[in-house]
């Protein structure tokens, strides 16, 4: 199995099964309900885990919850802990409704502060970091590989986290002294404060996966500075850290990336409630994980049509697929996890067993569930058809409403009708 690696800018071969394949994906910063774009770095690793396990791998997946961050302090001055707690619960509820299960571990920044402080102490002792009035900064110029992941040149680098007292404007914060209005803090060798965002992920990933692990992922917007800084922190201590860096393309709307700050975000909750989880998952499948994905009514409608196409296969007769069908599907996923190609292959199939097995990789086995309407509803639909034929449209509408009240939709087709379960 090969995956594209941002660090080497090439597809990299994974070790053979059973691995293990240990994966860390940067999860949400919890200060609002997550939007459909934030859900991509949840859906992608959950699918990847399911696929790797079917291919004989042992896996361990960690997706963290960033519950200490400037964004949370800004969103709820004086009450950030409460907001982080609520938003963590919303995140778990909303991603549960995707029906893909949970990662093996979901560490939070707050429960890992002790590990983060120990790591910062080691960096200070080794000369990679220094204290300024209760803040601790990483000396970017001390780490010779700085900029390799993102392709940034050190001499072109702009200031991160302004502070006139830093040795070098490019240095980034490992620890920040407590400021007025920040309602959470921890005691440390540098006084009361809280960790910087990047050290949280270095500490959480190594705590659960070890000093060397196979895959680190997140959105493309995290390459710089977040992941560049994680690499600097961990590798300057001699830890090999992640071997393959996966960065998913950003979800956009009308050519613009989806961001809360742009006001064009759509919550995962709303999208699941409006379109259903199956349509949303099929929508995610239509894009290659490295490419941008366009969220619109048209692309969601198209995904709904595809999902309905799969249900139709199970309403029609089974036709055995050719012998190489599964191998073609597996080859698409094993070559950089190409879900649009896998999806195209699945659309060719009328083989119920194979299609059910493939859909199950993506949490979509429900599309294969039997859709036989109960006889009393078939009777109502028949009476509705007679009413229509007799031009009794009021009665026909009443019968349609009764059928819909029972959770089914009646569709006119070829002089007859079809009953389809509502989703």
Q: Which residues bind Zn ion (CB under 5 A)?
A: 26, 201
The CB-of-217 to Zn ion minimum distance in angstroms stands at 10
Q: Which of 269, 268, 273, 270 is nearest to 284 (CA)?
A: 268
Q: Which is nearer to Zn ion, 87 or 201 (CB)?
A: 201
Interatomic CA distance for residues 185 and 132, integer angstroms? 18
Q: Which is nearer to Zn ion, 120 or 201 (CB)?
A: 201
The CB-of-218 to Zn ion minimum distance in angstroms stands at 6
The CB-of-24 to Zn ion minimum distance in angstroms stands at 8
How many contiguous H segments (helices) and E segments (strands) does the chain have?
A: 14, 15
Q: Which is nearer to Zn ion, 227 or 356 (CB)?
A: 227
The CB-of-261 to Zn ion minimum distance in angstroms stands at 19
Q: Which is nearer to Zn ion, 26 or 246 (CB)?
A: 26
Q: Which is nearer to Zn ion, 210 or 320 (CB)?
A: 210
- Residue 23, strand partner residues: 61, 215
The CB-of-26 to Zn ion minimum distance in angstroms stands at 3
Specify the pairing of strand 21-25 against strand 59-63: parallel
The CB-of-201 to Zn ion minimum distance in angstroms stands at 3
Q: How many CA within 13 A on the CB side of residue 231?
A: 24
Interatomic CA distance for residues 394 and 286, integer angstroms? 41
Interatomic CA distance for residues 49 and 283, integer angstroms? 19
Q: Which is nearer to Zn ion, 214 or 351 (CB)?
A: 214
Cβ distance 25 to 220 under 8 Å? no
- Give, in degrees to the nearest 5, the angle at Cα 353 between 351 and 359: 95
Interatomic CA distance for residues 256 and 251, integer angstroms? 9
Q: Which of 351, 357, 402 is nearest to 381 (CA)?
A: 402
Cβ distance 201 to 226 under 8 Å? yes
The CB-of-33 to Zn ion minimum distance in angstroms stands at 20
Structure tokens at 294: 């366009």
Q: Which of 11, 19, 29 is nearest to 214 (CA)?
A: 19
Q: Which is nearer to Zn ion, 201 or 368 (CB)?
A: 201
Q: Which is nearer to Zn ion, 221 or 397 (CB)?
A: 221
Contacts of 213 (CB under 8 A, 6+ apart): 22, 23, 24, 205, 241, 242, 243
Q: How many CA within 13 A on the CB side of residue 347?
A: 15
The CB-of-352 to Zn ion minimum distance in angstroms stands at 41
The CB-of-226 to Zn ion minimum distance in angstroms stands at 6
Structure tokens at 53: 């396990």
Q: Which is nearer to Zn ion, 233 or 267 (CB)?
A: 233
């Amino acid at each position: 199995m090969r995956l594209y690696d941002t660090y080497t800018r090439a597809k990299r071969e994974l070790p053979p099964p059973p691995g293990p394949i240990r994966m860390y994906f940067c999860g949400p910063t919890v200060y609002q309900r997550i939007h459909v774009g934030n859900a991509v770095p949840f859906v992608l690793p959950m699918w990847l885990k399911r696929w790797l396990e079917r291919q004989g791998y042992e896996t361990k997946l960690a997706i963290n919850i960033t519950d200490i961050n400037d964004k949370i302090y800004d969103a709820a001055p004086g009450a950030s802990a409460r907001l982080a707690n609520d938003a963590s619960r919303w995140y778990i509820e909303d991603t549960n409704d995707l029906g893909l299960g949970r990662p093996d571990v979901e560490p939070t920044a707050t429960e890992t502060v002790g590990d983060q402080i120990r790591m910062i102490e080691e960096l200070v002792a080794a000369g990679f970091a220094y204290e300024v009035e209760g803040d601790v900064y990483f000396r970017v110029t001390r780490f010779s590989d700085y900029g390799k992941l993102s392709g940034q040149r050190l001499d072109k680098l702009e200031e991160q986290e302004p502070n006139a007292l830093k040795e070098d404007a490019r240095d980034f914060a490992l620890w920040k002294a407590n400021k007025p209005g920040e309602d959470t803090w921890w005691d440390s060798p540098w006084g009361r404060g809280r960790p910087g965002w990047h050290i949280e992920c270095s500490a959480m990933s190594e705590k659960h996966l070890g000093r060397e692990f196979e895959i680190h992922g997140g959105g493309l917007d995290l390459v710089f500075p977040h992941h560049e800084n994680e690499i600097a922190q961990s590798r300057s201590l001699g830890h090999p850290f992640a071997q393959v860096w996966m960065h998913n393309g950003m979800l956009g709307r009308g050519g613009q990336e989806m961001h809360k700050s742009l006001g064009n975000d759509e919550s995962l909750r709303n999208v699941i409630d409006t379109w259903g989880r199956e349509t949303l998952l099929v929508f995610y499948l239509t894009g290659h994980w490295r490419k941008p994905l366009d969220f619109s009514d048209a692309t969601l409608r198209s995904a709904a049509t595809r999902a309905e196409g799969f249900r139709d296969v199970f309403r029609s007769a089974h036709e055995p697929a050719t012998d190489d069908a599964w191998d073609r599907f597996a080859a698409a996923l094993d070559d950089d996890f190409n879900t649009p190609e896998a999806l195209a292959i699945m659309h060719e199939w009328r083989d119920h067993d194979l299609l059910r097995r493939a859909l199950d990789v993506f949490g979509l086995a429900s599309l294969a569930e039997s859709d036989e309407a109960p006889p009393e509803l078939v009777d109502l639909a028949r009476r509705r058809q007679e009413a229509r034929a007799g031009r009794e449209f009021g009665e026909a509408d009443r019968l349609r409403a009764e059928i819909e009240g029972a959770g089914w939709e009646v569709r006119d087709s070829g002089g007859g009708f079809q009953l389809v379960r509502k989703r």
